[in-house]
Amino acid sequence: MGFIRVGLIVFGLCAVGFACRGRSNATIEAAGTARYASEDLEKQLATLRQERADLLAMLQEQKVAEAMKLSELSKEREDLTTERMSLEGEVGRLRTELTTQSTNTEAEKMVIMKRLSDTEESLKGVRVKLDNNDNQMKERLRRIEKLSKDMEALAKRVETLEAEIERLNNLLAEERAKNEAAAKSARVSTQSNPTVIKGDEGTVTAGTGSTGGNTGSGGTPAPGAGGGAAPIEIDNLPKSVVNKAADGTLSCFEFGSTADNASLLGITCVDPVPVRQQFKFEKFDKGYLIIDARSSMCARIDKTNAARIALKPCLKDGVGDEVWTLADEQAASKSFKLKNVSSGTCLQIVQRRVGLVDCASGALFGVK
């Protein structure tokens, strides 16, 4: 069945005029496999997201219900306490009137005694209600305590789901890039055009040895800028951020998703550049904000993991964990390292994750 599905993909590509001649079966099958791997990941993500949403909804519903009931009981207790105090005052007044008013006739005393008896009976009923209210309050507090423990367990489950969702988002981003690269490889001739990395002026052809590589991974950087060279300036138009490894492989920045706290990845570059691999460099303070084109959020240091880069709202508060400067600029290739103002460390790609390392081991990047 898998062979038939892959064969249908190939037939479809050929039918619309894509070049199939000279492509190996392995390359064509890779394109199909990547596509269905992506579909499976999408289904897993949808299931996990629904489970997370259901858990959060259940937590919220229980919290609201318990809070409302506790509020009702508290209000009832306040009303009953007020009524009890009023009745206690009335009982005291009637007893005083009964014992101190010597001029009262027997008939008047009988009336006072009847009122006193009725009031004491009412007071007894209010006290019973207060006892019931007290028992309900205690039971509600016990339920809230149990709910708190349940919520802790559910919160851990949600946390686990969040981690798994992020992992699958990252994996899906990688599979998506591989899928598009394989599909392109299946429809173009074996002779490929060079990929061009552009700076603000001039161009550099990646894959010819003229651009800076990933120095932390064995890449070969271009010659230094030389004395008197003008600093590299990056405009604020959407562009991809590219790193070239020692073997010539190009990796591009891409967040695993548009969700808050998503991880920044360095995965296969896609051409033409999709919006998910596009970033804006907005000048701010001493450097740039690196803004994801999809979400308009910033690449920032994760506060819980200082080596990780996360997608977070742009604060523009001057703290510096979202501000990046260009370091070790290579004028000839328009490549540079990206240095964080707050930490003083630079970006590097390790196992498809973008993280922070000492700038001596930081990777060189270009934009296109």
Tell me the pLDDT tens digit for each residue of 2-38. Answer: 333 333 333 333 333 333 333 344 444 444 444 445 5
Nearest CA-CA partner of 321 in 338, 304, 343: 343
Task: Render pLDDT for 46-57 as a digit per residue (tens, 0 to 9).
Answer: 787 788 778 778
**Average pLDDT over every residue of 101-126:** 86
pLDDT at 28: 40
Rounded CA separation 292/264 (Å) = 10
pLDDT at 344: 94
350 or 156: which leads in pLDDT:
350
pLDDT at 180: 77
Give residue 161's pLDDT band: very low, low, confident or very high (50, 70, 90): confident
**Average pLDDT over every residue of 60-78:** 85
The dihedral formed by the CA atoms of 344, 348, 353 and 354, expressed in degrees to the nearest 10: 40
pLDDT at 1: 39
Q: Are residues 287 and 326 in contact, defined by beta-carbon separation less than 8 angstroms? A: yes
Q: Are residues 256 and 173 in contact, defined by beta-carbon separation less than 8 angstroms? A: yes
Question: How large a percentage of the chain has pLDDT more than 70?
Answer: 76
Can you name the residues that pair with 300 across neighbouring β-strands?
Answer: 310
pLDDT at 185: 72
pLDDT at 24: 41
Question: How large a percentage of the chain has pLDDT more than 90?
Answer: 35
277 or 11: which leads in pLDDT:
277
**Average pLDDT over every residue of 117-134:** 92
Min mean pLDDT across 21-35, 197-211, 260-274 is at: 197-211
Is 70 exceeded by the pLDDT of residue 227?
no
Q: Are residues 44 and 167 in contact, defined by beta-carbon separation less than 8 angstroms? A: no
Q: What is the pTM of this model?
A: 0.53
CA atoms within 13 Å, Cβ hemisphere of 139:
8
pLDDT at 20: 37
Nearest CA-CA partner of 345 in 315, 301, 311: 301
pLDDT at 79: 92
Q: What is the mean pLDDT of the chain?
A: 77
Contact residues for 134 (Cβ-Cβ < 8 A; gap 6+): 77
Is 70 exceeded by the pLDDT of residue 202?
no
Sign of CA dihedral 20, 25, 26, 32: positive
Rg (CA), the chain: 35
Q: Which domains, and CATH codes, for the chain?
A: 1-190 (1.10.287), 193-367 (2.80.10.50)
Give residue 357's pLDDT band: very low, low, confident or very high (50, 70, 90): very high
Is 80 exceeded by the pLDDT of residue 293?
yes
Rounded CA separation 267/176 (Å) = 10
Rounded CA separation 248/213 (Å) = 8
**Average pLDDT over every residue of 100-128:** 86
**Average pLDDT over every residue of 117-144:** 89
pLDDT at 38: 57
Rounded CA separation 30/114 (Å) = 96
**Average pLDDT over every residue of 100-125:** 85
Is 60 exceeded by the pLDDT of residue 212?
no
Helix residue spans in the chain (DSSP H) = 2-15, 25-100, 106-187
pLDDT at 153: 79
Q: Are residues 185 and 23 in contact, defined by beta-carbon separation less than 8 angstroms? A: yes
Q: Are residues 65 and 57 in contact, defined by beta-carbon separation less than 8 angstroms? A: no
Give residue for tokens 């360095």.
266
pLDDT at 149: 79
Whether the bond into 272 is cis, omega within 30 of 0: yes
pLDDT at 296: 95
Give residue for tokens 């003229």.
210
**Average pLDDT over every residue of 65-71:** 84
